Amino acid sequence: MPKMTMVQALNLALRQEMEKDDRVVVLGEDVGVDGGVFRVTEGLIDRFGPDRVLDTPLAESAIVGMSIGMAVYGLRPVCEIQFSGFTYLNFHQIECHASRLRHRSQGRFTVPMVLRTPYGGNVRALEHHSESREAFYAHMPGLKMVIPSSPRNARALLVSAIRDPDPVIFFEPKAVYRAFREEVPEEEETFPIGQSVLLREGRHVTLITYGALVRPTLEAAERLSKEDGIEADVIDLLTLSPLDDTLFVNSAKKTGRVVIVHEAPRSYGPGAELVARLVERAFYYLEAPVRRLTGFDVIMPLFAREKAYFPNPGRIARAVKETLEVAA
């Protein structure tokens, strides 16, 4: 089984789906001749031609609007917005059309499109290139919101997203794009949208995370196990909407303590929804307040302060210990 980066795994998913289904088209700024700003679409225009790999003008609203039209008329568009901080320009198209057409048409029309976009920071980019605004889309009825964390699950989830009958917002953590390689099978592999996974099993505390912070959270869990004998369940959400709350609620009932880790700003972030569901479904099992370890409520810092913004293994481990002390 070849080892791939996330960029290569995403490219594999696109290539194989385009080979299997003539309705799959790729469009966006520089996705053709240049192969995408991060080279996710590299080589696709040579293989499938400019009729299926479309270089578009610098016009995010037009890219998404055209994708919606393509989807309604039977194609399977996968559009790329170069950075998630530029998706605000197409927000109207997503909110007013993509997310609503199935409901508005009483099921006569669906919008089977995927909006791919790199998101998140810790790569020394500027504010609009490093933001973590997944809550905007996870909050929107009619959309599915997916965030992979590794090459293998990125490939499998993108295949599922392309085949989904409804619009999927696919946030790709660019801090993971080339951070490590993982075995990815050449043969077809999918993973269900709306399902999370238990990456590590423990009994003292539940750690819930997603995206680029999965690896630091796993590192913190390993450190806690070796140095303090604290064993943690680590759950990767993978999909923020629809949210698989069964796995983390059952884990919380088992451990009684929960720490949520994400890089999005704290206030009204995904962690708040997780806390609400834990209170609704596992309140009487909790032995300590649920703790959120998140980004701060500030504009994404520039280079000199960027590292301080993100939860790292040390901060995660401290948060777990403080949570356990509260329970003691």
SS3 percent helix, strand, coil of the chain, rounded to 5, is 45, 20, 40
DSSP letters, 87-115, are GGGGHHHIIIIITTHHHHTTTS-----EE
Catalytic residue among 92, 97, 128, 129: 129
- CA 148, CA 231: separation in Å to the nearest integer? 24
Pick the closest to residue 187 from 156, 157, 148 (CA basis). 156
- The pair of three-digit structure tokens given for residue 23, joined into one six-digit string: 């309705």
3-state secondary structure of 50: coil
DSSP class of residue 301 equals P
- CA 117, CA 101: separation in Å to the nearest integer? 22
For residue 192, the tally of other CB atoms under 10 A from its CB is 11
Q: Is 97 a catalytic residue?
A: no
Active site residues: 129
